[in-house]
Amino acid sequence: MWEYSDKVQEYFFNPKNAGTLEDASGVGEVGAIACGDALKLMIKVDPESERITDARFQTFGCGSAIASSSALTEIIIGKTLDEALKITNQDIADFLGGLPPEKMHCSVMGYEALRAAVANYRGEVWEDDHEEGALLCKCFGIDEGMIERAVRNNGLTSMEQVAHFTKATGSCGTCVEGVEAVLEKTNAEMVAEGLLDPAQAFVMGAVPVAPGRQQRKSPVAPPAPASSRMTTVQKIRVIEEVLEELRPALRNDGGDCELVDVEDNRVMVRMTGACVNCQLAAVTVQGIQGRLAERLGMPVRVIPVPAGK
């Protein structure tokens, strides 16, 4: 069981402001049932003073998600919109006496819901309401802005932290590249602004060597050719061969995988069918990567590209 603070337990077992607000002046909705947590925040705003006079929440999620939502309503009631917008997810976590690291995304959800509700009240288009394509992490419906904000507000410098705070990359893993890029870019900006020690900034790693390459070769694999001497066409042939070998296994799981492009050591594949959202997709990508590295005799990076791109 999680180590929840007394305050988290209090706000979970006896949540304040749970329910709906009939005459809400602003509503913010974040998350989705598929992702495992979602929050609908309703606020009532006095138009004269722009003060939040009441707030209610409805939450689908775990204990800390419900507690964070309730805490958020307690924090913002009585504040003006501008004051409320200064609140970060850390304030929510602090209010609750801390959250387990893996649960920080619950506080981020509160922070995002508040921004959405205020935008809705002000008649602005909440940037979260974008088309599919703008989402960086499709599994959890997370866009670049949200990752950037979580990184800045909380001084995140590792991919693990980003997953704890936003859940991005936590499922199929196909968004790793994109999320890494945002983390790197944001950290670099923070360094430039003097907000972050350069030594701590995240820098996208060198191409990881496929694990186990030096170990026992699979007996069916031909000796690894020196890839530098391979032409792209030769490489593609080997890659197609490997994918062909793996295809029956993927089809068994109701999915498939095709080669899209090869660029130096980057192999773009398209996962289709059940593979797209399958829990094994990340494992599959790893598996394909390992197998390719072995056969090509060089480290490669397998990058799944979204279907239809």
Partner 1 sequence: MKAVYLDNNATTRVDPAAVAAMLPFFTEQFGNASSMHAFGSEVGGAVLKGRRQLQALLGAQFDHEIVFTGGGTESDNTAILSALETQGARNEIVTSAVEHPAVLALCAWLEKSRGIKVHYIGVDARGRLDVEAYRKALSPRTAIASIMWANNETGTIFPVEMLAELAHEAGALFHTDAVQAVGKIPMNLKETAIDMLSLSGHKLHAPKGIGALYVRRGVRLRPLIRGGHQERGRRAGTENAPGIVALGVAAELAQQHINDENTRVRAMRDRLEQGLLQRIGNSFVAGDVENRLPNTANVAFEYIEGEAILLLMNKAGIAASSGSACTSGSLEPSHVLRAMKVPYTAAHGAIRFSFSRENTDEDVDHVLEVMPGIIARLREMSPFWDGKNAGQSGFAPTYA
Tokens 């964070």, residue?
68
Torsion angles phi and psi, residue 28, rounded to 5: -125, 130
Residue 218 or 231 having the CB closest to partner 1: 218
159 binds ligand FES (CB under 6 A): no
Indicate if 278 belongs to the active site. no
Candidates 281, 283, 232; CA nearest to 257 is 281
State yes or no: residue 168 binds ligand FES (CB under 6 A): yes
Stretch that binds ligand FES, among 59-67, 108-116, 162-170, 285-293 (CB under 6 A): 162-170
Shorter beta-carbon distance to partner 1: residue 231 or 252: 252
Q: From the list partner 1, ligand FES, none, which binds 287 (C-beta under 5 to 8 Å, kind-based)?
A: partner 1
Interface residue with ligand FES, options 69, 73, 171, 289 (CB under 6 A): 171
Rounded CA-CA distance 307/309 in Å is: 6
The answer on whether 275 is annotated among ligand-binding residues is no
Please report how close the Cβ of residue 182 comes to partner 1 at its closest, in angstroms.
Answer: 18
CA distance 103 to 161: 11
Whole-angstrom CA distances from 228 to 118, 261, 297 are 56, 18, 9
Strand, helix or coil for residue 14:
coil
Q: Find which of partner 1, ligand FES, none residue 124 binds, CB within 5 to 8 Å per kind.
A: none
Name the segment binding ligand FES (CB under 6 A); options: 115-123, 131-139, 258-266, 296-304.
Answer: 131-139
**257 appears as a binding residue in the annotation:** no
Give contact residues for partner 1 (rule: CB under 8 A): 1-2, 12-13, 15, 18-19, 29, 33-34, 36-40, 57-63, 65-66, 102-103, 140, 163, 167, 170-171, 211-212, 215-221, 245, 248-249, 252-254, 278-280, 283, 286-287, 290-291, 294
Q: In what order do the strands lie in the sheet with 301-305?
A: 255-263, 266-273, 301-305
User: Quick one: three-class SS letters along 24-91?
Assistant: CCEEEEEEEHHHCEEEEEEEEEECCCCEEEEEEEEEECCHHHHHHHHHHHHHHCCCEHHHHHCCCHHH
Residues tagged active-site: 35, 106
